């Protein structure tokens, strides 16, 4: 009898804790969505990202890994805010450096 009661109480506690965590996680997602939506230049593809499928999230992860790689090569990290823009700027910088004799000491 005690074992059954303990099991039921444990199950209810786990249920209540998970419900509270889910509510907190949802509130956090909503706050982050608001920040992404409000920031000028932020990528709107991140709004409601938690509802994307696993392959879509993996694709976004790969994009941001690429952005990190490009950002590490930049002098100023605040100038790029999207994968597309980072790739374009990165390519433009290296074309300019290749044609600029000052930046290409030999």
- The pTM of this model reads 0.47
Instruction: Mark 30-42 as b/e (b = at least 16 C-beta within 10 Å).
Output: eeebeebeeeeee
Better pLDDT: 86 or 27: 27
Nearest to residue 90, comparing CAs of 62, 69, 106? Answer: 69
pLDDT in tens, 56-74: 889 888 888 887 787 777 7
- Quick one: pLDDT band at residue 78, thresholds 50, 70, 90? low
pLDDT tens for residues 3-52? 999 999 999 999 999 999 999 988 888 888 888 888 777 777 777 787 88
């Amino acid at each position: 009898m005690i074992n059954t009661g303990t099991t039921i109480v444990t199950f209810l506690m786990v249920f209540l804790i998970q419900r509270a965590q889910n509510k907190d996680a949802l509130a956090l997602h909503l706050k982050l969505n608001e920040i992404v939506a409000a920031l000028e230049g932020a990528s709107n593809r991140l709004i409601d990202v938690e509802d994307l499928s696993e392959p879509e999230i993996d694709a976004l992860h790969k994009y941001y890994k690429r952005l990190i790689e490009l950002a590490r090569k930049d002098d100023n990290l605040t100038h790029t805010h999207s994968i597309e823009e980072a790739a374009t700027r990165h390519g433009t910088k290296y074309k300019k450096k290749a044609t600029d004799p000052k930046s290409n000491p030999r």
